[in-house]
Amino acid sequence: MTIATLADVLTPALEKGYAVAGLVTLGWEDMRAFVAAAEAENVPVILQAGPGCREHTPLPILAKMFLHLAEQASVPVVAHLDHGYQYDECQQALDCGFTSLMYDGSRKPLQQNIDETAAIAELAHSAGISCEGEIGFVGYAEGEASNGTVPSEAEVFARQTGIDAMAISVGNVHLQENTGQGLDESRIAAIQAVTDVPLVIHGGSGVPVEQRIRLARETNICKYNVGTELRMAFGAALREAVNRDSERFDRVEILRETHDPIVEAARAVIQTMM
């Protein structure tokens, strides 16, 4: 079994200058392909169950899927709760076997975010697993605007919560379908100057590839969350499979044809972090 915690995979990433892919899953087809891609590249992978995924499939089922894949994998696999908003939800994820909890209090006042994230970190660490927190709000394309991370607040947040990884808002945006204008490198440098906690970029799909590669090597960014570009690749593969034969109705037969394209798309993402 190669199940790992977030700290297990991010600590060496921080020391050696690379990042680990936090790949946002929606179902069996993509999570299986993501592990296959990580094995092909011989690197760890973080399987992430976000709010949309959890609306579709209950947490206990997702945990069993993640753990089954980890048991068969030749590389470390992290079972990560992405954007947990409630203590009870984080507790349930821990009880189901998740090995990493991401608590998102980024919309809340600083002290409330610190207090609630610290409680989740204590919960996680008491069970021997990891915790990621978020300071500064990462907005959504065509949705809520971002609120950039203040470096001095990041220092206090990291120190008082005891988190294993810190998600920051530095020009990144969730659900961005096209390459954005890039991350604010001066803000990243200012944050890195006051804390050595591994940094996380949500909305990694919008980060230009060259910048993604360079910052993984040169900064404390140790994890990029990537979902949108992989969902787009899955959608394209699924449409092609459906349109190839209008008489087919067996969804297993159709979905099987998405596997190889998603493996290749995930491998391309992973290669931008090494």
What amino acid positions are annotated as catalytic residues? 82
DSSP-assigned letter for residue 204: G
E strands in the chain: 3-4, 20-25, 45-49, 77-84, 100-103, 130-135, 165-168, 199-201, 221-226
Pairwise CA distance, residues 110 & 156, whole Å: 9
Residues 65-93 as b/e (b if ≥16 CB within 10 A, e otherwise) read bbbebbeebebbbbbbbbbbeeeebbebb
DSSP-assigned letter for residue 251: H
In total, the chain counts a number of residues equal to 274
Pairwise CA distance, residues 221 & 153, whole Å: 18
